[in-house]
Each structure stands twice: as C-alpha cells, then as structure tokens.
Amino acid sequence: AQSVAQPEDQVNVAEGNPLTVKCTYSVSGNPYLFWYVQYPNRGLQFLLKYITGDNLVKGSYGFEAEFNKSQTSFHLKKPSALVSDSALYFCAVRDRGFQKLVFGTGTRLLVSP
C-alpha cells in the first residue's frame, strides 16, 4: 500500500531564508507525487506535481520540489520564504495503478518576519 511520511510537524524559517519541507514516500511502482497547501479555514490548494520527466518540478508561488527516486523523497523548497507562506503543507502520493491519493500528516510552516 502506498504511504507518505512528513517527518516534521513544524518548520520554522525567517523571512528571506530558503525553506525545505520534507516528504518521503512508499509505493509499489512509479509514483505520482503532489504538494498541497492549506491556509486557515480554506480548502486545499494545489502547488505542484511530479508525473514524469525532469526531477525538478516548479510550481505555484515560487515553490519547487525535487523528485529523488533513490531516496524516495519529494522535498518541497523555496529559495526565499515569505511570511505569507505560513500555512499547512501536505505531501501526497498516488500509485499509477490506482486513483486514490494518500496524504502525509502535514507540516506546519511558520515564517517569521
């Protein structure tokens, strides 16, 4: 069965500094990988996805993620954090044979001014 691990409950970073939110996955075959962001009292907003091709995926709001097959990781990154990036971030994985999306436990990102 597919699964996702987000090892950090919270990540703290100062505005202007680079940020990384970690994600590792487990699937039986090649994965589809996703990052979503959730702001307070809002639904999930799609940030980016990896399907195939380049390992570095660029997404919305300046975020990017790097797919690393050998380490089964898909870490979310941004070169310069903004206070407005403070939110809850979810990594998700889908096995190519199934439609079901499985989510990690989420990482709260707190960007301080």
Contact criterion met (CB below 8 Å) for 61 and 47 = yes
User: Judged by CB under 8 A, which stretch of 15-23, 61-69, 78-86, 91-99 contacts another protein?
Assistant: 91-99
Shorter beta-carbon distance to another protein: residue 81 or 106: 106
Measured from the CB atom, is 43 or 113 closer to another protein? Answer: 43
Contacts of 68 (CB under 8 A, 6+ apart): 55, 74, 75
Select from 5, 8, 26, 44 the one that contacts another protein (CB under 8 A): 44
Using the 8-state DSSP alphabet, how is residue 40 labeled? T
Q: Give every CB contact of residue 93 below 8 A, 6+ residues apart in sequence.
A: 2, 3, 4, 25, 26, 27, 31, 32, 33, 34, 74, 101, 102
Nearer of residues 13 and 34 to another protein, judged by Cβ: 34
Contact pattern for another protein over residues 15 through 34, marking x by CB under 8 A:
-----------------x-x
Q: What DSSP state is assigned to residue 11?
A: E
Site stretch for another protein (CB under 8 A), options 13-21, 61-69, 79-87, 92-100: 92-100
Q: Least distance in Å: CB of 61 to another protein?
A: 16
